[in-house]
Amino acid sequence: MNIAMEKSNYASIKVVGVGGGGCNALTRMLIEPAEGVEYIAINTDAQALDVTEANEKIVIGDKVTRGLGAGADPQIGAKAADESREEIADKIEGADMLFITAGMGGGTGTGAAPVIAQIAHDMGILTVGVVTRPFRFEGAKRMMNAEAGIRELEQYVDALIVVPNDKLLEISQEDTTLVDAFKMADEVLEFGVLGISDLVTVNGLINLDMADVKRIMTNVGICHLGIGKAEGENRVDEAINFAMNSPLLETSIDGARKILINFTGSDMKLKEINKAASLVRDAASPEAEIIMGAVNDESMGDQIAVTLIATGFTDENRNRNKDTNGRDLSFAKSQTSPKAQPVAKVAPAMPDFLNNSMSQRESQPTTSRFAQGKMASLNNSFANPQTSAFASNRNAYVAPKQPNMQKPSFMNGNASSTPKAKTEKSTKILPWFYSEDEDVNE
C-alpha cells in the first residue's frame, strides 16, 4: 500500500475559529498544534486576521464589511458569512469532523458561526460547536446576543459544548492573568481535538474509529467533553474525576445515554480500567450505551489520560445541565428513561494541566499535553502513525465531498435546506439576523 492510500485511511479533522474570540483561540492552540488537524481562521476584520495564526485564513463579507469588522452586530456577521459561502465550503471540504469555535455575544462569531455550521451540515460533515458565553460583567445586551446565537448554532451542529466565561472566575487565582484565563478555556477545545484525533487514528488495545465517534455525537445537542490526566497511585480515580466533572463546563455525565470513553497510558491494569468504567456507568443512565477504547503508549510513563464524551441527556437530567441562572443547556430531546443514581461527587481540584501559567507553557511547552516531549513537526506526521497523539501527532486526509450550497432557514425563509431533525425545535427567527427587507449596504 503506497503512502497516498495510507493517507486516505486517516480521518480528516478541521478546526474553524470564527470572529475575534475564535481566531484568538486558534492562535493560542497553534503554539503547539495537533498534527493532522487543519486550522482555519474566519473573520470580518482583515487587520485582526493578519495577526492570527492558522493554516488557512478567510476574510468574509468583503462587500458587507470591506474587511472592517461586524461592529458587534450578529446580523452583519451572518450576512458576511452568507456572502462568502462558496469560499467557506471550499476550505472545509474533505473534513470528516469539523470543530467550530467562537466567542458568542459579538458580531462575527455570533452571526457567522451558525451559517458555517449550516454549510458543514449540508456537506454531511460531523460538526461540533465549542463556544464561550460572555462574562456577566459584559452586560445584558451581549449576553442576550450570545444566548440567541447559541440557540441558532445548535440548530445546525451535531453536538454543542458551551464554556461559560464566568467559570474562569471560579477557578482562577488572584494573580491569574486574562491571557492565562482564556488559555484555560481554550484547552477544552484543544484537548478535545487532541483526544478525539487520537481516538480515531491510533490503533489501540481496544480500537475506536470515526464510526464510533459519529454514533455518539451525531445530532445529539448538548455534549459533555471531559479530559483528565493524572499519575501516581490514584491516577485513574483522579483522571476520571476530572473527565466526569470538568471545572470549566456546566455539564456532567449524570443521566447520559451515550458515552464514549478512551484510556491512554502505559502499563494500564485491568482492575484500574474496570474501576474507572464502573464509575462512569454508575453516573450514567441505566440504559446508557458505553463504547470504550484503550491505547497503550509507553511514552506516557506513569501517567494515564482519559477522554470522555457523554451525550443523549434525558429530560429528567435537564436541571443538572443548567447554569446558575437556570438557563437550559440540554438542547437535544430524548425519551425519558429511569432515573440514574449518580455517583457521589467530590468537587475536583483544578488539575495541574489546566493550572499552568503562560510563562510555564512557554518554557515547558508540553505541560498542557497528554504526553511528555514536544509534538513532532507537521512534516514528520507519518514517521510513526501508530504512536498516539498524546506523544506525537499525525496527518490526515480523505477524499473531498461535494457541497450542497443552500442557505440556512434563518438566512432565507424559502430555503429548501432544513436544520437537523430534532424534537420540539423552536422556529423563531432571530430579530437581528439576516432580514430580507434590510440591506446593510444601503
22 is in an annotated binding site: yes
Query: Cα 222 from chain centroid?
Result: 11
Q: Which three cell numbers stand for residue 303?
A: 501517567
Per-residue DSSP letter, 102? E
312 is in an annotated binding site: no
204 is in an annotated binding site: no
CA dihedral 347, 350, 354, 356 (to 10 degrees): 180
Answer for the pair 304, 231: CB distance below 8 angstroms, yes or no.
yes
CA distance 95 to 272: 35
109 is in an annotated binding site: yes
CA dihedral 190, 191, 194, 198 (to 10 degrees): -170
107 is in an annotated binding site: yes
CA distance 68 to 71: 8
What is the number of alpha carbons within 13 Å of residue 329 lying toward its C-beta? 26
152 is in an annotated binding site: no
226 is in an annotated binding site: no
Answer for the pair 272, 265: CB distance below 8 angstroms, yes or no.
no
Listed in sequence order, the residues at least 6 apart from 43 whose beta carbon sits closer than 8 Å to its beta carbon are: 18, 19, 20, 23, 49, 52, 57, 58, 59, 60, 69, 108
138 is in an annotated binding site: yes
Q: What are phi and psi of 345, to 5 degrees?
A: -105, 145
Q: Beta strand pairing status for 304-311 and 224-230? A: antiparallel
314 is in an annotated binding site: no
Task: Enumerate the known binding-site residues.
Answer: 20-24, 107-109, 138, 142, 186
Task: Enumerate the known binding-site residues for GTP.
Answer: 20-24, 107-109, 138, 142, 186
